[in-house]
Structure 1
Amino acid sequence: MNALVSKIIDAHGGLQQWRKFSSLRARLNQGGALWTLKGHPTTLSVTTVTVDLRREWASHSPFGPEAMLSSFEPGRVALSNADGEVLEELLDPRSTFAGHTLETPWNELQLAYFAGCAMWTYLNMPFLLAHEGVEAEELPDWSENGETWHRLKITFPADILSHSAVQTIYFDDAGLLKRHDYDVEIAGGTPGAHYISGYIDVQGIKIPTSRRIYPRQADGRSLPEPLVVSIELSDIVLT
């Protein structure tokens, strides 16, 4: 494993501790301009998110005012009722975003796909870097708001579906993540700068509770507005 990857993972609690668990559940509060832009201003504003730590799967409950349950995996997304009855499903969901731009609205299944894919990535980082086939390349340091952060360019293998195959993580001297950049392929490749803060210790794992995502410019600098997505996590449990 890349030495810097090892440092980052160790700073967040280490692989040995992480591998004691198979799922993460948290109370989720979300805001930002994206949800209204996509036609779902309050569907996932307050919900509970659960992600698998060993395979790519995530769920939100309740999903919308009908209190549905979503199920995301790379090749399928579905919405079920409280009794577990599948109400809608979509196979090969990523293909349905072809030709989308940032302004293209999503249906509920597409929203479930995006939210599941995003939260699975966020809540499995940085331990996802230890996945077989993930490549890490050191980039020059980055200065922002009077701080200097180290950077790694991350390339995911084909069996991991995320916002984009190539992403960049920023971390401080202690190895804690500060920022995470990617291009949202299913929204026309929209570039995002994702800021990470509010670390707490949960069962021996360092987990950030606050995230803010802003537009990213061509020079790598973020714009102060609009706030694209805000994420607040609480009641985090590893099982």
Structure 2
Amino acid sequence: MDVLAKRIIDAHGGIDHWRSFKTVTAHLVQGGALWGLKGKAGVLDDTNVTVDLRREHASHAPFGDAARKSSFTPDLVELQNGKGDTIEALPQPRASFAGHTLETPWNDLQLAYFAGIAMWTYLTMPFLLAEDGVESAALGTWREKDETWQRLQVRFPANIATHSTEQTLYVGDDGLLRRHDYDVEIAGNTPGAHYVSGYREVQGILFPTKRRIYPRQPDGQSLAEPLVVSIDLDHITLG
């Protein structure tokens, strides 16, 4: 593992402590332009998410209404009722996004896939850097406003479903993440700059509770608007 990657992981609570847990659950309040652009305004504005720390799985509940929840894995997305019975299913979901642009609407199962890869990635980062097949390398410094951040380039193996194969993390002097860049492959490779803040300690692990995602320009600078996605987290628990 890259030295910077290890420093980031240690600052967030350490890999040994992280691996003593199996799940993360959080309450989400979400906003931003993306949901309406995709024809899904309001579906996941106020929901809860649970992610599995031993395999790539996430579930949002409620999903649009109290009678539905989602189940995401890289190979299968389902919408289920309260008893866990499948209402709808989409095998090999990533293939369904072929030819999509940022403006292409999503159906509910595609929304569940996007929400699944997003929250699983966000809630397992930076500990995801220690997973088999994940490669990372320091990129040098980046100046943003009055701060200087270290950058870490990350490359994910094909078996991990996430926004894009290559992503960039930005870290402050304290080892905590400040920003997370990626291209949303399933939305026409749309570039995003994802800012994180509002860290809170939960059972010995540090989590950012405020996430704001903006468009990213070719030179790496972010635009001040539109706000693409906002995510505020509370009631975070490790199980």
Shift of 1:104: 0.1
SS of structure 1 residue aligned to 2:226: coil
For structure 1, which runs of at least 5 residues remain unmatched after alignment?
none
Spell out structure 1 runs of 4+ moving beyond 4 A: none
Residue 36 (structure 1) aligns with: 36
Q: Amino acid of the residue matched to residue 153 of structure 1?
A: Q
Q: Whole-Å Cα distance in 2 between the matches of residues 84 and 130 of structure 1?
A: 32
Mapped to 1, the partners of 2:66 and 2:235 lie a distance apart of 23
Q: Residue by residue, what CA displacement relative to the aligned partner does 1:97-154 show, whole Å, maximum 9, x if unpaired? A: 0000000000000000000010000000000000011111111200011100000110
Alignment of 1:78-97 (within 5 A): 78-97=78-97
1:128 is paired with a residue of what secondary structure? helix
Question: Which residue does 1:129 correspond to in 2?
Answer: 129
The alignment yields a C-alpha RMSD, in angstroms, of 0.7
Q: For 1:52-131, list aligned pairs within 5 A.
A: 52-65=52-65, 67-131=67-131
SS of the residue 1:102 aligns to: coil
Within 1, Cα distance between the matches of 2:86 and 2:133?
Answer: 34
The residue aligned with 1:211 is 211
Q: How much has 1:16 moved relative to structure 2?
A: 1.1
1:184 aligns with 2:184: yes
Question: 1:2 offset after TM fit, Å?
Answer: 1.5
Residue 66 of structure 1 deviates from its aligned partner by 5.2
Report what 2:26 is aligned to. Answer: 26
CA–CA separation in structure 2 for the residues paired with 1:230 and 1:2 = 30
| Aligned equivalent of 1:12 | 12
Question: Whole-Å Cα distance in 1 between the matches of residues 51 and 98 of structure 2?
Answer: 26
Distance 2:179 2:91 in 1: 32
Secondary structure of 2:104 counterpart: coil
Q: Which amino acid aligns with 2:68?
A: M
SS of residue matched to 1:123: helix
Other-structure match for 2:49: 49
Give the Cα separation in 1 of the matches to 2:84 and 2:141.
48
Gapped regions of structure 2 (runs ≥ 5): none
TM-score normalized with structure 2 length:
0.99
What is residue 196 of structure 1 aligned with on the other side? Answer: 196
Structure 2 residue identity aligned to 1:125: M
Per the alignment, residue 157 of structure 2 pairs with 157
Partner SS for 2:40: coil
Distance 2:140 2:126 in 1: 19
Partner of 1:234 in structure 2? 234
Render the CA deviation track for 1:154-200: whole Å, top value 9, x for unaligned.
00111111000100000011110000000000000000000000000
CA distance in 2, matches of 1:94, 1:178: 28
User: Deviations for 1:206-228, whole angstroms, at most 9, x for unmatched residues?
Assistant: 00000000000000000000000
Q: CA deviation at 1:83?
A: 1.7
Where 2:64 maps in the other structure, the secondary structure is: coil
Q: How many residues align?
A: 239
Distance in 2, matches of 1:227 and 1:199, equals 21
